Amino acid sequence: MAITFHTEGVDFPAIDKKKVADWIRSVAKKYGKRTGEIAYLFCNDEQILTVNQQFLGHDYYTDIITFDYSEEDYLSGDIFVSIDTVRSNAELYSVSFQEELYRVVIHGILHLCGIKDESEQEKEEMREAENRALEKLTFLLSSRGVS
């Protein structure tokens, strides 16, 4: 089962696909899940707006849209990530683009694991789960001599 990364209308972000895929698998495992077919599509704001309008009936920009095809304990889905909005949010929250990108990447996986973010309490739980996952990534990258 594969975790794949694609782009449409944007340059490929500077990520190590193998290490990020390993990180995603380790986070899924923490929630008792295994990864099936997961496809990331990095795109621009216009592309994600089109997806949002066409499939969800929403007329606004967003940083991520996750389509969940999971079955039992196998996570599968298509995850659209707007590089434009990730960049804007990084500036808004005064974090690096890379940190915000990793946060959004794992946000989609956490949704597939069943974590929601509709209520204020759920948003707080999601943020805590994202932070724990980011700590794990930082450890994995630093222990392998990569920053």
Sign of CA dihedral 44, 49, 54, 56: positive
Structural domains of the chain sorted by starting position, each given as residue range(s) with its CATH number in brackets: 3-143 (3.40.390.30)
Determine the 3-state secondary structure of 72 from DSSP. Answer: coil
* Residue 140 pLDDT: 72
CB 78 within 8 A of CB 64: no
pLDDT tens digit sequence for 22-40 = 999 999 999 999 999 999 9
pLDDT tens digit sequence for 43-55 = 999 999 999 999 9
* Residue 144 pLDDT: 52
DSSP for 1-23, written as a single string: --EEEEEESSPPPS--HHHHHHH
* Residue 143 pLDDT: 63
Which stretches of the chain score pLDDT less than 50?
Answer: 145-147
- Spatial separation of the C-alpha atoms in residues 110 and 28, rounded to whole Å: 8
